[in-house]
Amino acid sequence: MQAGTTAKVAVVGAGSVGATLAYAVLIRGAAREVALYDVDTAKVRAQALDLAHGIQFMPMARVEGSDDVAVCAGADVVVVTAGAKQQPGQTRMDLAAKTVGLARTLMPQLVEVAPHAVFLMVTNPVDVVTYAALKYSDLPRTQVLGSGAVLDSSRFRYLIADHVGVAVQNVHAYVAGEHGDTAVPLWSSATIGGVPLLELDPFDGREPLTQEVRDAITHDVVHSAYDIIAGKGATAYAIGLAASRIVEAITNDEHRIMPVSSLVNGYRGIDDVCLSVPTMVSHDGAGTLLPTPLSDAELTALHRSADALRAAAAEVGL
């Protein structure tokens, strides 16, 4: 794989998420070439041109847009954002049949033009789509991963930081399991400044982190996307930033620990399902799964999440 400043990143889908992700990749300097692929010819070319006109104000890069999958040829990372749009009132799982069908068609085409790429799935329901992409591409486990709970973990850290009164960068906490309704916030391993969060005394003027507060934060982590979709039609900025950070970890070979979704086998009694746990991300893709400490309740919830994802995959013939 090319180093970050010379890497090629292909983004499949030129909608709001794909365009925002491409913008974030360019702003972060995570690629020297960004290729947008979409079947909507006018839209993909317009998005590419709009981005290219701003290159003067970013790290140097080249932007191209096309309705021909060949534009993705030779990519180091292929990010798939194309899929059915989630409507108000829909869960991510409601989208499964359409997006899995898209993965069945799309993945062989993408692998043909970019066989050595790491494939990052962002399309929802991302865990099921990642599993489908792995099956339909016949690629190694490491080479196909999903954005998973990276955004959920960012929401989790933001809400903790806001309540406790510290910078969000000082909160270390993860969400595991499904990117969706059975997500599992890992309270037991969360820390601030090396201090276990559940042992931290409230700072001056701040309320304690009671069970009631933790339950409210957990609810908001899971349901905040529905509020955003109801208000503006789609989420775009946060997922674009989250996915661009995964891309950067890959192109820069960072060995960064991120809760991405990948195929899990033999992890705390969980097998044959794609879900999120803290994972080492490098130019090889999804590497070692970390044995993050879990409480008994968290482990039970993680198994429940795995069961739900496995059932959803079975419903769409996987």
Apex CA 117: angle with CA 114 and CA 120, to 5°?
115
**Whole-number pLDDT of residue 110:** 98
Please list the active-site residues. Answer: 179
- 48 and 81 in a common domain: yes
Last residue in a domain, options 105, 121, 146: 146
Last residue in a domain, options 128, 146, 164: 146
**Whole-number pLDDT of residue 225:** 84
**Whole-number pLDDT of residue 150:** 98
Last residue in a domain, options 118, 146, 174: 146
Q: How far apart are CA 105 and CA 109, in angstroms?
A: 7
Report yes or no: 313 and 128 within 8 Å, Cβ to Cβ: yes
Q: For every one of its 318 residues, what pLDDT tens digit does the chain have, with 9 covering 90 and above? A: 655 568 999 999 999 999 999 999 999 999 999 999 999 999 999 999 999 999 999 999 999 999 999 999 999 999 999 976 656 665 556 777 788 888 999 999 999 999 999 999 999 999 999 999 999 999 999 999 999 999 999 999 999 999 999 999 999 999 999 999 999 999 999 999 999 999 999 999 999 999 999 999 999 999 988 888 889 888 899 999 999 999 999 999 999 999 999 999 999 999 999 999 999 999 999 999 999 999 999 999 999 999 999 999 999 998
CATH number for the domain that contains residue 108: 3.40.50.720
Q: Which strands, in side-by-side order, build the sheet including 62-66? A: 62-66, 33-37, 8-12, 77-80, 118-121, 144-146, 261-264, 273-276
CATH number for the domain that contains residue 229: 3.90.110.10
- 128 and 70 in a common domain: yes
**Whole-number pLDDT of residue 85:** 64
Exposure string for 279-311, b = 16+ CB within 10 A, e = fewer? bbbbbebbbebeebebeeebbebbeebbebbbe
Q: Total domain count for the chain?
A: 2
